[in-house]
Amino acid sequence: MVNGPPSYAATSTTLPRTQRPPLNGHKSLSGDGVTRTKILLLGLRRAGKTSIQQVLFNNLPPKQTFYLETTMRIVKHTFDTVIPLEIWDCPGNITVETLGAPLSQFATMIFVIDIRDLYNQPISKLVEFIVAAYQANPDMSLEVFVHKAEKLQEDDKIENFRQIHERVSDRLLDIAPEYEQVQLNFHLTSVYDHSLHEAFSKVLHKLVDSLPYLEDLLNVFCANSQSPKAFLFDTTSRLYIATDASPVDSATFNLCCDYLQMLNSFGTLYKSAAADARRPLPTTPPPSASSTSSPSRGPTASDPGTPTGTEGTSTPNATTLRPSRDLFYPSASTSLHPSTPGTTLTYHLITPQLALLALLPTSVYEGRRGLIEFNVVFFREGVQEISQVEKEARTGG
Ligand SMILES: Nc1nc2c(ncn2[C@@H]2O[C@H](COP(=O)(O)OP(=O)(O)OP(=O)(O)O)[C@@H](O)[C@H]2O)c(=O)[nH]1
């Protein structure tokens, strides 16, 4: 702890075999020999399914979704984060019969509905899939993305959201009283803000078996570093994989998302800087700007599971590059409120895909920097071990 005797046990403890996370069902071996968790993406034509997939997992700028072509056949997209995913983007006219795979294979069904579609057809289609999915697998998480939410004013948005929710519930009750128990999760989403990232993150949390362990690590990090909020983010998709126990407020989440986006957009610059760093040092050091980003050597350089890449993780004024061999853990920070007491947002790469984003009192960040870095090292070790266990379980290794 920053004040009082530090207790790092939970961050550094390795998980005994018996406590290791079990794998939940609904995963299947994909062509690359990895057991992937499957997500079904459904909805009427032009609802925004492909846009959601492309914006989240292919870094497509939201405005360019306008040029996406209609999906004619099921497209299976794979994405590797703390768990390997397989997302099935389906054409708008798909039915339970033409899906070509049993619904029981899927861990999650996401139905995308345009917020202005209060009509019979999209609601009927949604209800048809809910009933089929519930019958095939009552444990499947059923998510409804009420999408393109930014198109409506606040009052209309809430009203349409409410009506869609109500109509779906009424229709389910009309079919059979037992469907009252179906757990449906409704989210307001849009590709034009971070609501999509927040909603998809919540979907992902239900699929990550190791979530409680990651949350524990974050709680211990926060307690030991006086951090009011910390997230473990997937750097490419900007989905948060886990957070500490304090409530998530959208403003903080948006800030973290924006900061990651900014760091990602300087990735190519950083890539060349990292390549330079592997060359012999020049006799004169580069000019030093106010440094907000620095790569740090990790604690276990011989660990084969540690990251070697540095792409997408730096600000342009990185100044303290040192020669690196295999291991490279960039970090960065930015001040959010310059006036005292002040808050600093920090970024630390944890694995090649995951980064820790934490809010810290500026006084702690500036005055107890060594301790923060120390806590990050133990946090990193814990997350790396959890990721390794997930990986072994998925590849049978
Ligand atoms: N305003 C707004 N438009 C969106 C949003 N998401 C997607 N769109 C637009 O909706 C249109 C259809 O998007 P697609 O992603 O192709 O929809 P789809 O559900 O995959 O459509 P099909 O392939 O025909 O099944 C495009 O013009 C997108 O730009 C959003 O959040 N807000």
What is the CB neighbour count within 10 angstroms for residue 324? 17
List ligand 1's pocket residues with C-beta within 6 A: 43, 45-51, 65-66, 68, 70-71, 91-92, 147-148, 150-151, 190-192
Position 337 scores a pLDDT of 72
pLDDT of residue 390: 82
Give SS3 for 344. strand
Residue 273: predicted pLDDT: 56
Nearest atom of ligand 1 to the alpha carbon of 151 = 1
Domains and CATH numbers, the chain: 24-205 (3.40.50.300), 210-281+288-395 (3.30.450.190)
CA distance 248 to 229: 8
**Could you identify the atom of ligand 1 that is nearest to the CA of residue 66?**
29
Per-10-residue mean pLDDT, the chain, length 397 = 34 34 52 83 95 95 94 93 92 91 93 88 91 92 95 94 93 86 92 95 94 96 95 95 94 93 78 55 37 42 34 36 57 77 91 94 91 94 92 73
User: What SS3 class is residue 85?
Assistant: strand
Identify whether the C-beta of residue 330 lies closer than 8 Å to the C-beta of residue 313.
yes
Which atom from ligand 1 is nearest to the alpha carbon of 53? 15
Helix segments in 180-238, DSSP class H = 195-205, 211-225
Look-up of token digits 């071990």: 385
Strands 27-29 and 35-43: antiparallel
Q: How far apart are CA 386 and CA 53, in angstroms?
A: 26
The residue whose CA is least distant from atom 11 of ligand 1 is 46
pLDDT of 100? 86
Q: What is the ipTM of this complex?
A: 0.98
Q: Is 34 exposed, middle or buried (0-12, 13-18, 19+ CB in 10 A)?
A: middle
CA 354 to ligand 1 centroid distance, Å: 29
Gap from CA of 348 to ligand 1 centroid (Å): 34
- What is the distance in A from the centroid of ligand 1 to the CA of 149? 12
Helices 211-225 and 369-395, packing angle to 10 deg: 170
Query: Which residue's alpha carbon is at the smallest distance from atom 3 of ligand 1?
Result: 148
Query: Are the beta carbons of 370 and 224 closer than 8 angstroms?
Result: no
| Cβ–Cβ under 8 Å, residues 89 and 77 | yes
Q: Closest Cα to atom 2, ligand 1: which residue?
A: 148
Q: Are 291 and 308 in contact (CB under 8 A)?
A: no
* Structural tokens at position 353: 């895909």
- At residue 123, what is the residue type? I
Whether residue 296 contacts residue 306, with contact meaning beta carbons closer than 8 Å, is answered with no
Q: Kindly give the number of the ligand 1 atom that is closest to the alpha carbon of 54.
A: 15
Instruction: Look at residues 355, 280, 276 and name the one whose alpha carbon lies nearest to residue 312.
Output: 355
Residue to probe by mutation, ligand 1, list 42, 46, 90, 93, most atoms within 8 Å of CB: 46
Q: What whole-number distance in Å separates Cα of residue 253 and Cα of residue 302?
A: 34
Q: Which atom of ligand 1 is nearest to the CA of 63?
A: 29
Ligand 1 centre distance from Cα of residue 60 (Å): 12
Helix/strand/coil (H/E/C) assignment for every residue in 148-193: CHHHCCHHHHHHHHHHHHHHHHHHHHHHCHHHHHCCEEEEECCCCC
Nearest one of 369, 344, 366, 345 to 357, comparing CA atoms: 345
- Residue 379's Cβ-count burial label (10 Å; 0-12, 13-18, 19+) is buried
CB 135 within 8 A of CB 150: no
